[in-house]
Amino acid sequence: MTIAFYGLRFEADFNPVVQAIFDGLQKRNTDLIIYEDFAEFLKGRIEFQSDYGTFKDHTDLKGVDCLISIGGDGTLLSTIHFVRDSEIPVLGVNAGRLGFLSHVSADQVAEAIEDLLDRKYSIDKRSLIKVSSSQQDFGEFPFALNEVTIHKKDTSSMVRIHTHLDDTYINTYWADGLIVCTPTGSTAYSLSCNGPIVMPGSENFTITPIAPHNLNVRPLVVPNKHKLTLRAEGREPNFLMSVDSVSHSVDANTEIIIENAEFTLNLVNLEGRSFFNTIRNKLMWGIDRRN
């Protein structure tokens, strides 16, 4: 089995957890390939029992059976730029804070590694957003696992965001911005703006305004088989658009098209874990004497 690793930096007190991951894998004679920059960071922190390879971009991951992300949810979001449409399963180990996607905690690492190697897991297919425009290029990989967000830029003035579903006009949002998220992204930025929690696999987009001026405007859930078109305008000549963690400056009145991507991200769902287990634990549902 060949396992790839992606990560950024983590605190020194997490070193023993990462060491346990590598020890568990190498004990089972697993082939390791580590993201180049992450491998450099691990030098002097982790002892390796055998040699490992490195990778730099998505073209180096052919033949990989699973990619392990070490960090928070933001780190796992970055993995889609490497796995892309390869269907390589991704397992998130949480070295951050909340961790809805990177749900394997430090005390679960040993069991998680054994279950992974014994293939005691299922695949949780997560939909992505594709963003495009006839007026602007958003790079070679304009996809988001969580959300696409339009923000006001360098001003306290609101933006007006004209929103259509296919050819049907929905609304013009007067707000600080607008979030369009997948079910996966419903527990991210949208949740902090009073958006609903949506179960993965629901096949929809949630449209959540950020600090709307109209108090009767609420988040809206629409099927993702339709195309959303957004066009922002305001006092400034441009605004900020975020595709997960990648930001773009976009000219006012640029039409942004949001569609469901033709491929999914495969998340590893270990035995005994589910979306609702994660929600209960992370949001502390049921922490009540009555339960």
Per-residue pLDDT at 289:
61
- Residue 96 makes CB contacts below 8 A (sequence gap 6+) with 71, 72, 73, 74, 75, 102
Please give the angle made by the CA atoms of 247, 251 and 256, to the nearest 5 degrees: 70
- Asked if CATH classification 2.60.200.30 holds for the domain at 128-263, the reply, yes or no, is yes
| Phi-psi group of 38: left, alpha or beta (phi > 0 → left; psi -120 to 50 → alpha; rest → beta) | alpha
Mean pLDDT by 10 residues, the chain (291 residues): 94 94 93 97 92 96 96 94 96 86 89 93 96 93 97 86 97 97 97 96 97 94 98 93 94 97 95 85 76 59
Query: 205, 222 in Cβ contact below 8 A?
Result: yes
Provide the residue ranges of all domains of the chain, joining segments of one domain with +. 2-120+271-283, 128-263
Does the CA dihedral 264-269-275-279 come out positive or negative?
A: negative
240 CA to centre of own chain: 19
Q: How far is CA 49 from CA 19, 24, 27, 28, 114, in A?
A: 11, 11, 9, 11, 18
Are 2-120+271-283 and 128-263 in the same CATH fold? no
Residues designated as active site: 73
Task: For the chain, report the end-to-end CA distance as a whole number of angstroms.
Answer: 43
99: helix, strand or coil:
coil
- Asked if CATH classification 3.40.50.10330 holds for the domain at 2-120+271-283, the reply, yes or no, is yes
Query: 67, 90 in Cβ contact below 8 A?
Result: yes
Per-residue pLDDT at 291:
59
